[in-house]
Structure 1
Amino acid sequence: MNPRPGYADLTPQQVLDALDAVGLRGDGRILQLNSYENRVYQLFLEDGSAVVAKFYRPGRWSDAQILEEHAFALELAAAEVPVVPPLVLTGAEDGVALAGTPPTLALQGAHRWSVSARCAGREPELDDPETLRRIGRFIGRLHAVGRRCPFEHRHRLDARADGRRALALLVEGGFVPADQLPAWQASCEQALAAVEAAFDAAQPLATLRLHGDCHPGNVLWRDGSPHVVDLDDAMQGPAVQDLWMLVSGDRSTIARQLDTLIAGYEEFSEFDDRERVLIEPLRTLRMVRHAAWLAERWSDPSFPINFPYFGSSAYWSQQTTQLREQLEAMG
């Protein structure tokens, strides 16, 4: 695999210069925030405020895809859905170009970046039914806006294509050790076939613009309410994609949690109950795609450091076991 352009040339001084070039004068203080996919920094400005700058992984999204994400965030903010949209940028200089209407994306060479206000929060307490209900209301409001029109450029969730692409990448790239490959590949192919069958049986499915990666770590709790600060994985897909990662446990616990989420959700958006059966198929698809994501990013030096277990026989043996468990859960 040929590695895509990365972040080797992105030094703290270059980050400060990039912000300075769009009129945001830093006071020299910079803190790198936790993000594997992008490079995200908190910067303090001379006026005493603080912003967060996100440098998009080169080659991951097209400019059109990033700008469509930004437009969705601005549309949500205008509808008073609690998201943190990108700032409108002005006065670009030193070879930096701006894109978007209004301009929210800065471009220079291989790098694209956006800036947003700093917004802190904590993970929600999902064992509290009232918290779940409020999150359901929040997602219902987000989806009410998401249904206004479809994405044209963002990823469209396709269970068959997404799963088979991930499988091919892992097998053809030689990421699975030879001693684990037969068992893992057989289990993966069976599991993906079950995922595809579940999606086929649920058709026709309505799709809408989604957050796309709505796990507890991406839903921040602040002042008694949920909000999101990042739509980096925004996609077109069924509504349940933004709900299933918020429920866990045995079948009865998941059903009870989902009922609570949906009770809040349906104050603003209608939920198709046929999508309930897609929770375990989506969990299975995410497992396979997560492994493929690690493989795709393996040339980034930060990934072997942060995921040292990937590629070991123990890791793939565990993956095989979990796929077999998911086959039972989907049965």
Structure 2
Amino acid sequence: MPHPFSALSPDMVMSAVESVGVWPAGEPFALNSYENRVLMFRDDEGGRWVVKFYRPARWTNEAIQEEHDFLQELKDAQVPVVAPWRNDVNSSLHTFQQFRFALFPQYAGQAPELDNPSHLFALGEVLGCLHSVSCKKAFQYRARLSFEGGIADAEERVLSSRWLNKHQQRAYRQVVQKIVRQPSGHAIDQTTMIRTHGDCHLGNVLGRDESFTLVDFDDCIMAPAIQDIWMLLPVNDPTSWRVQLSEIIEGYEEAHPFPHEQVALIEPLRAYRLVRHTAWLVSRWNDPAFPRAFPWLAESGYWDQHIRQLEQQCLQLEKPIWLA
């Protein structure tokens, strides 16, 4: 059965954009995106745009609209984000045939340099500004991070796939259960969760000089504030880890109190992402873009490597790098 995105031809993209009164000057250019389909184009007046077609059946309309409204709230509060374009009746989520899509003004920039203290300070300040607004209310339709529940869901998806042999299944199950049993993972307090970007890595931070903008809030969720910080830190270098976090904290506290008590959640959140990311790849394998981009998933050696990586992460849960 063809994947739904197979129907998203260049002509359909052009027709969808034109249906909301924006007129492309040429054929759109596909950007690297796997969960959704994201393309860049210029309009007939020279304006640069990004159009995002949402993966069918992933989010409800309410959840997507909540992301858009959050971005507009942040923009109105002068937090540097890219909010979706709205038409004359203030709609930001549009439909064309079977697809839902949104338009964003294109923002060009470069990722921050994590060995540059001024970049880290500026990045911390942006995140502090983000959280000073995001903590004022809660999402109603977006996901809420659940350490045990999220890992259990990922484990089920991986073990129900055809990828692991019996030995790997047994080893995978054992290491994932070891992660779940770690007390540090259960320290994630639901009452301290706020609206977060959710996927705040360097690819989603773009800058000009020392001014940075956050992009792609597609995974925004209710989570601890540290969720938007830990992915920006080095994995295996305790000295750099401390220095870089110190600079981020200094900038963050220009706008909002830093949650120092959440530093202990960094390794549980890293473990959570490691488990969830691989399950995501498995669950998207019927999308032709995934076998092309991640062919190593089908190799037995990948699963041996992934299990070893999870075992090493268990050691970090027992003795985090920031205590070294």
CA distance in 1, matches of 2:142, 2:19: 28
Contact 2:53 2:102 in 1 (8 A): yes
Choose which of 271, 277, 285 in structure 2 pairs with 1:290: 277
Contact 1:176 1:311 in 2 (8 A): no
Choose which of 221, 224, 231 in structure 2 pairs with 1:235: 221
Cα deviation, residue 39, structure 1:
0.6
Contact 2:131 2:256 in 1 (8 A): yes
- Could you list the runs of 4 or more consecutive aligned residues of structure 1 that deviate by over 3 angstroms after TM superposition? 201-205
Cα deviation, residue 205, structure 1:
4.8
- Aligned twin of 1:13: 11
Choose which of 128, 131, 148 in structure 2 pairs with 1:160: 148
Cα deviation digits, residues 111-170 of structure 1 (max 9, x gap): 100001111111110111221111010000001110110000001111111111101111
Contact 2:18 2:24 in 1 (8 A): yes
CA distance in 1, matches of 2:37, 2:145: 25
Q: Structure 1 residue 175 and structure 2 residue 173: aligned?
A: no
2:312 match: secondary structure: helix
Choose which of 294, 306, 310 in structure 2 pairs with 1:323: 310
Contact 1:89 1:105 in 2 (8 A): no
Superposed, 1:17-96 pairs within 5 Å as 17-90=15-88
Higher share in helix: 2
Structure 2 residue runs of 5 or longer lacking an equivalent are: 319-324
2:111 match: secondary structure: coil
Q: Structure 1 residue 111 and structure 2 residue 99: aligned?
A: yes
| Change in 2 beyond 3 A, CA 1:47/1:41 | same
CA distance in 1, matches of 2:244, 2:23: 46
Contact 1:192 1:285 in 2 (8 A): no
- Aligned twin of 1:270: 257
Contact 1:56 1:113 in 2 (8 A): yes
Cα deviation, residue 311, structure 1:
3.0
Choose which of 284, 306, 310 in structure 1 pairs with 2:297: 310
Superposed CA RMSD in Å reads: 1.6
Cα deviation, residue 50, structure 1:
1.8
Cα deviation digits, residues 249-282 of structure 1 (max 9, x gap): 3334323322221111111111222211111111
TM score, norm. by length of structure 1 = 0.92
Which AA in structure 2 matches 1:318?
Answer: Q
Cα deviation, residue 204, structure 1:
6.3
- Aligned twin of 1:191: 179
Cα deviation digits, residues 303-328 of structure 1 (max 9, x gap): 01110000321111111111111111
**How many residues were matched structurally?**
317
Q: Structure 1 residue 143 and structure 2 residue 128: aligned?
A: no
Structure 1 residue runs of 5 or longer lacking an equivalent are: 91-100
CA distance in 2, matches of 1:259, 1:138: 15
- Aligned twin of 1:213: 199
Which AA in structure 2 matches 1:327?
Answer: C
- Aligned twin of 2:321: none
Contact 2:3 2:286 in 1 (8 A): no
Contact 1:56 1:111 in 2 (8 A): yes
Q: Give the percent of matched residue pairs that are identical in Structure 1 and Structure 2.
A: 38
